[in-house]
Every structure is written in structure tokens, then in C-alpha cells.
């Protein structure tokens, strides 16, 4: 990719270096600091004139600060005369607020997309975006946008470590059926989709587990935040006599000690990616993203 230059925000430095190594595209370094009052400063160092610049940024943990950082980098490379700005967001934030659930709420998913577009972004790539009430990413963004899936890679990874025999693939809620389907295409399995009721930020109720169980189950979801969703399913599966329960998710936010709580609850293993840097990632999405750039005719090569 001769005319593609990568650069990155502080949310995805390690991943951006991996993508650069795999794709052979150079990585323009970014100097960052904060002014004494908390405002951010960035300076991009590299030759981007006339080139497509892919800015890799994951929006985990402090999405607001990371969005401003992304916008500053996008403006910097525009100022340096780049041809196009491609936003590469392995983890896209604010996607779960995809409806005004109550009067007076913001439609955050669209607001976040509008801010990305307003930063001068020409195209977007992301991975396993939380699509629920919006069916496709193109309903959220007004610019070309691609939603890749890490589910086949995660499923392959599970197969390498899986026990012999049948596995029950479990989705905690209706929106998880898309990810369960993708996993079931790789793993020969019986699938079930449960019902989830969210009672609060840290409280969920899950129902729908019944009948005879396999000895092994795999809980599939797009993300773990507090871990409550997976934990509730895990508890129910264990109570039903399932011996081995693994969890497979793309985005591991793992806040408030979620991983320890899941291990204490009897989770055998967590199979996850590096869309958000975390010590449990066994699958990198770097090849997936590098490959997508190579196949995208819109990227100037
Ligand atoms: C929401 O429906 C998502 O797909 C996840 O199930 C949810 O965000 C997980 O959050 P937590 O780990 O806090 O239950």
C-alpha cells in the first residue's frame, strides 16, 4: 500500500504498530501532550502529503477525550496536505445508545458519528459495531463505512482449544444473534438466544435457559463491560449442569474487576481481541484491518 500512511491516537498505539507491520504501510508518529489546563496538543511527524492517511483510534474508557484527540490528528494531517482521512476505529464508542429510550435523551450513536464526520473523515472502518436498532453501519454514518467482524477469527481460536464434542453457543440477548450466527458458521454447534432485561448500568436479568444442556457452552457477545451480562448467563449455565463455560467477545472493556468476577463465577476462558488493549487478547484484529485496506478500492495504492 504505497500511498497509505498510518497514524494513531493514544487509544490504539500497539494495534496501529501491528497493522503497520502487516500491511507494510509506514506509521507517522504523533507527539501528544496536555496543556496545564487539560487541553490536548498533537503534532504528527511524517510524510503524508498527497496520501491516504488511516488514523487508528479505539474509543475505550475515555471516549470524549479520545474523540477530541482523533479530531486534532485528522485536522493535523489535513493541514499537511493528505489526500483522504480514513478513520479506523477498532472499538467505536456510544453505539449502544441507539434510541431515545426516554424523552429528553440524546441519540448518542448518531451524535458520535456526526462528530467523526465533522472532523473531516472520508471513510470509516470499525469492528463488530454494536448494531441493534440500527441494522447496518450505513444507517449511522453518512460517509462510506465498513463494519468488519472478528467473530470468525475468535471462533477459529476457540476451536483450537475446544474440547471434543458438541458445544452450546449462547447469545445473552436478541442483538447477539448476529454474532452467534457468525460463530456458528465456524463451530458446528447448537445455538440458543436468551432474553435479557437491563435493570440498571450494573444489573441485568437473563432468562430462557431450559431443557437439556451440552457439557460445554460458549457465551458469545460483542463486548464485556462490567461483565454482569456474561456472569448472569454463566451462573444459569452452571446451575443447569454445564461443566465448561467459555466466553467469546470482541471488545473487552472489563471494567470494575469484571475478569476476576467471571473467573470466580467459573468461566473457563475468555477468548477476545485487541480492539481494546487488554492482557487477555488472544486474537489480533490487525490482519483483518490490514486485509480490508488492501481490498478496498477506495484506498489509493
Ligand atoms: C449490550 O447489549 C451489549 O451487547 C453487551 O451485552 C453489554 O454491553 C455488556 O455489558 P456488561 O458487561 O456491563 O453487562
Measure the CA–CA gap between 166 and 108, rounded to whole angstroms.
40
Q: Pocket residues for ligand 1 (CB within 6 Å)? A: 96, 130, 172-173, 175, 204, 221-229
Indicate the length of the chain as a whole number. 301
Measure the CA–CA gap between 266 and 228, rounded to whole angstroms.
14
Q: Dig out the grid coordinates for 243 from the structure.
A: 461443566
Measure the CA–CA gap between 24 and 17, rounded to whole angstroms.
10
The atom of ligand 1 lying closest to the CA of 224 is: 12
Measure the CA–CA gap between 78 and 50, rounded to whole angstroms.
10
Q: How do beta strands 216-224 and 195-200 pair?
A: unpaired
| Alpha-carbon dihedral angle through residues 12, 14, 20, 23, given to the nearest 10 degrees | -90
* CA-closest residue to ligand 1 atom 1: 96
In DSSP terms, 221 is beta-bridged to 249
pLDDT under 70 in the chain at which residues? Answer: 1-2, 163, 211-212, 297-301
Q: Choose the residue to mutate in 127, 134, 224 for probing ligand 1, maximizing ligand atoms within 8 Å of C-beta.
A: 224
Measure the CA–CA gap between 136 and 139, rounded to whole angstroms.
6
Task: Write down the pLDDT at residue 1.
Answer: 59
Phi, psi of 189 (to 5 degrees): -155, 165
Exposed/middle/buried for residue 280 (C-beta within 10 Å: 0-12, 13-18, 19+): middle
The atom of ligand 1 lying closest to the CA of 227 is: 12
C-beta separation of 246 from 158 below 8 A: yes
What is the b/e burial string over 52-84, where b = at least 16 CB atoms within 10 angstroms of the residue's CB?
bbbbbbbbbeebebbbbbbbbbbebbbebebbb
Measure the CA–CA gap between 55 and 197, rounded to whole angstroms.
37
Q: Choose the residue to mutate in 91, 151, 222 for probing ligand 1, maximizing ligand atoms within 8 Å of C-beta.
A: 222
Measure the CA–CA gap between 125 and 17, rounded to whole angstroms.
17
Within 8 A by CB and 6+ apart from 259, the residues are 227, 270, 280
Exposed/middle/buried for residue 181 (C-beta within 10 Å: 0-12, 13-18, 19+): middle
Task: Write down the pLDDT at residue 163.
Answer: 66
Task: Write down the pLDDT at residue 24.
Answer: 94
The CA 301 to ligand 1 mean position distance, Å, reads: 38
**Structure confidence by residue, pLDDT tens digits, 7-64:** 999 999 999 999 999 999 999 999 999 999 999 999 999 999 999 999 999 999 999 9
* CA-closest residue to ligand 1 atom 5: 223
The atom of ligand 1 lying closest to the CA of 225 is: 12
The CA 230 to ligand 1 mean position distance, Å, reads: 8
User: 63: closest CA among 27, 93, 22?
Assistant: 93
Q: What spatial distance separates the first Cα and last Cα of the chain, rounded to whole Å?
A: 5
Strand boundaries in 63-202, DSSP class E: 84-89, 123-127, 145-148, 168-171, 190-193, 195-200
Q: Choose the residue to mutate in 193, 225, 250 for probing ligand 1, maximizing ligand atoms within 8 Å of C-beta.
A: 225
Measure the CA–CA gap between 213 and 199, rounded to whole angstroms.
27
The CA 227 to ligand 1 mean position distance, Å, reads: 7
To the query of whether residue 196 is one of the catalytic residues in this protein, the response is yes
pTM: 0.96
Q: Which residue has the cell 473467573?
A: 263
Exposed/middle/buried for residue 211 (C-beta within 10 Å: 0-12, 13-18, 19+): exposed
Determine which one of 196, 236, 239, 263 is catalytic: 196
The CA 226 to ligand 1 mean position distance, Å, reads: 8
Amino acid at each position: 500500500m504505497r500511498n497509505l500512511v498510518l497514524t494513531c491516537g493514544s487509544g490504539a498505539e500497539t494495534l496501529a504498530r501491528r497493522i503497520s507491520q502487516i500491511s507494510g504501510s509506514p506509521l507517522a508518529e504523533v507527539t501528544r501532550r496536555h496543556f496545564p489546563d487539560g487541553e490536548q496538543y498533537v503534532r504528527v511527524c511524517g510524510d503524508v502529503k498527497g496520501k491516504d492517511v488511516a488514523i487508528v483510534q479505539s474509543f475505550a474508557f475515555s471516549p470524549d477525550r479520545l474523540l477530541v484527540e482523533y479530531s486534532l490528528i485528522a485536522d493535523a494531517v489535513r493541514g499537511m496536505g493528505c489526500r483522504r482521512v480514513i478513520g479506523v476505529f477498532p472499538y467505536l464508542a456510544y453505539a449502544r445508545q441507539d434510541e431515545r429510550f426516554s424523552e429528553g435523551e440524546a441519540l448518542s450513536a448518531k451524535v458520535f458519528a456526526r462528530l467523526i464526520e465533522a472532523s473531516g473523515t472520508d471513510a470509516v472502518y470499525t469492528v463488530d459495531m454494536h448494531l441493534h436498532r440500527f441494522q447496518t453501519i450505513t444507517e449511522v454514518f453518512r460517509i462510506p463505512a465498513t463494519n468488519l467482524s472478528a467473530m470468525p477469527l475468535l471462533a477459529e481460536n476457540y476451536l483450537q482449544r475446544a474440547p471434543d464434542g458438541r458445544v452450546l453457543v449462547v447469545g445473552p440477548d436478541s442483538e447477539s444473534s448476529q454474532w452467534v450466527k457468525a460463530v456458528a458458521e465456524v463451530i458446528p454447534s447448537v445455538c440458543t438466544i436468551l432474553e435479557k432485561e437491563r435493570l440498571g448500568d450494573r444489573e441485568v436479568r437473563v432468562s430462557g435457559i431450559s431443557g437439556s444442556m451440552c457439557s460445554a457452552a460458549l457465551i458469545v457477545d460483542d463486548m464485556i463491560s462490567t461483565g454482569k451480562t456474561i456472569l448472569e448467563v454463566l451462573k444459569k449455565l452452571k446451575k443447569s449442569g454445564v461443566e465448561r463455560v467459555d466466553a467469546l467477545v470482541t471488545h473487552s472493556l472489563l471494567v470494575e474487576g469484571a475478569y476476576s468476577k467471571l473467573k470466580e463465577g467459573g468461566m473457563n476462558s475468555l477468548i477476545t481481541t485487541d480492539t481494546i488493549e487488554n492482557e487477555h487478547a488472544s486474537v489480533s484484529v490487525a490482519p483483518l484491518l490490514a486485509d480490508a485496506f488492501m481490498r478496498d478500492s477506495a484506498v489509493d495504492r
